[in-house]
């Protein structure tokens, strides 16, 4: 495939995010669109909802690829537009939560609307890979399966949050794994959707890494999850995505089990006297790791990234 449009898409996403993020951070702090970094001495206020810039950068980078495929007639433009619409809808639902602090039951369901553009795009194609094999879901594929996949990915990314750069870094690793799988399998759609995403994420990570100067907010975590879901569905990489997302799935399962038992992790617990992270329960992947060995924030981030990296490699090996 032609690499020039991909380079342009990557560069546009990278430059837009890198250029706008400092401006956004200053403005967010000025208007008190901030969140407390609870794992730092003094509990500083950090710019929140930086995912707005991440989402804008990605969509602009993705759409910059369209001119190269206008006359191709192979559905690439439609897939790009569907992905952009899905990401924007999910980002909007995340922004609503950032502003109005919705109850978690509503937060879980709001990204369902993001599945509509992809469902429309795939009308006539209702077969999908599952852990039980390929299944033709018929009409359920459009009205149930796609929306559930989209909202599941959005919420899975959102639930693996809470440490500086943890969610963005984890998604960056997963996206690299999916890009490698796309290249090895010759799946052009996966490459097209992921290259601009990696550009935007690379710039965002510069500001979101430890110690963070900006948090993604739900607008960011939902948009990240929406890109992964779009790639899994439109590039037919469901099998690889499922394996790569196992750490997120385990974390979400632990979270919901904790919620059902009314023993969900305490989000605002102070640091331990020795500087290690507190752990009030085992009902998240992070807390499970901390129960095994107490760690500082930087150490815990690296360990979770390493686990995600292992599954990113395993996900690339599921294809013959």
Confidence bin at 152 (pLDDT 50/70/90): very high
| CA-based nearest residue to 307, from 238, 229, 250, 258 | 250
pLDDT of residue 105: 78
The highest-confidence range among 11-25, 67-81, 285-299, by mean pLDDT, is 11-25
pLDDT at residue 24 greater than cutoff 90: yes
pLDDT at residue 263 greater than cutoff 70: no
Please give, one letter per residue, the 3-state secondary structure of 25-63.
HHHHHHCCCEEECCCCCCCCEEECCCHHHHHHHHHHHHH
| CA-based nearest residue to 158, from 93, 210, 202, 213 | 93
Q: What is the mean pLDDT of residues 163-184?
A: 97
Question: What's the mean per-residue pLDDT of the chain?
Answer: 93
Residue 137 is part of which domain span?
4-243
pLDDT of residue 114: 95
Confidence bin at 258 (pLDDT 50/70/90): confident
Q: Is residue 72 part of a domain?
A: yes
Q: Is residue 291 part of a domain?
A: no
pLDDT of residue 131: 87
The highest-confidence range among 25-29, 65-69, 74-78, by mean pLDDT, is 25-29
Q: What is the mean pLDDT of residues 4-15?
A: 97
Q: Is residue 294 part of a domain?
A: no
Q: Is residue 79 part of a domain?
A: yes
Query: Which residue's entry shows tokens 């996966």?
Result: 190
pLDDT at residue 266 greater than cutoff 90: no
pLDDT in tens, 267-302: 666 788 888 998 877 888 999 999 999 999 999 999
pLDDT in tens, 305-315: 999 999 999 99
Q: Is residue 75 part of a domain?
A: yes
For residue 214, report the phi and psi dihedrals to the nearest 5 degrees.
-155, 145
Neighbours of 259 (CB within 10 A): 14
98-132 exposure pattern, b = at least 16 Cβ within 10 A, e = fewer: beeebeeeebbebbbbbbbbbbebbeeebebbeee
Q: 75 versus 312: which is more confidently predicted?
A: 312
pLDDT in tens, 200-226: 999 999 999 999 999 999 999 999 999
What is the percentage of the chain residues whose pLDDT exceeds 90?
79
pLDDT at residue 255 greater than cutoff 90: no
Number of domains observed in the structure of the chain:
1
Looking from the CA of 201 toward its CB, the CA atoms found within 13 Å total 24
Q: Is residue 226 part of a domain?
A: yes
Q: 102 versus 4: which is more confidently predicted?
A: 4
Spatial CB neighbours of 316, under 8 Å, sequence gap ≥ 6: 177, 180, 181, 184, 240
Q: What is the mean pLDDT of residues 189-207?
A: 98
pLDDT at residue 249 greater than cutoff 90: yes
Pull the structure tokens for residue 267: 């989000």
pLDDT at residue 158 greater than cutoff 90: yes
pTM: 0.95
């Amino acid at each position: 495939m032609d690499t020039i449009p991909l380079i342009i898409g990557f560069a546009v996403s990278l430059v837009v995010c890198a250029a706008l993020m400092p401006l956004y951070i200053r403005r967010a702090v000025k208007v008190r669109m901030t969140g407390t970094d609870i794992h730092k001495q003094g509990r500083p206020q950090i710019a929140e909802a930086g995912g707005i810039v991440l989402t804008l950068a990605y969509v602009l980078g993705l759409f910059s690829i369209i001119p190269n495929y206008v006359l191709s007639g192979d559905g690439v433009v439609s897939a790009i537009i569907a992905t952009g619409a899905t990401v924007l809808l999910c980002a909007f639902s995340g922004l609503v939560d950032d502003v109005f602090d919705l109850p978690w039951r509503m937060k879980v369901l709001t990204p369902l609307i993001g599945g509509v553009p992809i469902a429309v795009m795939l009308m006539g194609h209702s077969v999908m890979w599952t852990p039980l094999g390929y299944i033709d879901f018929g009409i359920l594929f459009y009205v149930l399966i796609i929306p559930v996949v989209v909202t599941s990915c959005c919420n899975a990314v959102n639930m693996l949050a809470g440490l500086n750069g943890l969610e963005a870094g984890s998604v960056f690793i997963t996206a690299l794994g999916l890009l490698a799988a796309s290249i090895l399998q010759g799946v052009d759609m996966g490459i097209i959707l992921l290259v601009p995403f990696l550009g935007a994420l690379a710039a965002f990570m510069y500001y979101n890494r430890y110690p963070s100067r900006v948090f993604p907010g739900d607008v960011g975590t939902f948009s990240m999850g929406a890109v992964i879901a779009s790639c899994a569905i439109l590039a037919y990489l469901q099998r690889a995505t499922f394996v790569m997302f196992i750490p997120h799935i385990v974390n979400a399962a632990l979270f919901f089990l904790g919620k059902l038992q009314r023993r969900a992790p305490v989000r605002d617990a102070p640091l331990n006297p020795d500087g290690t992270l507190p752990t009030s329960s085992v009902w998240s992947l992070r807390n499970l790791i901390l129960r095994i060995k107490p760690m500082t924030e930087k150490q815990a981030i690296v360990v979770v990234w390493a686990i995600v990296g292992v599954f990113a490699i395993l996900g690339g090996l599921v294809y013959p």
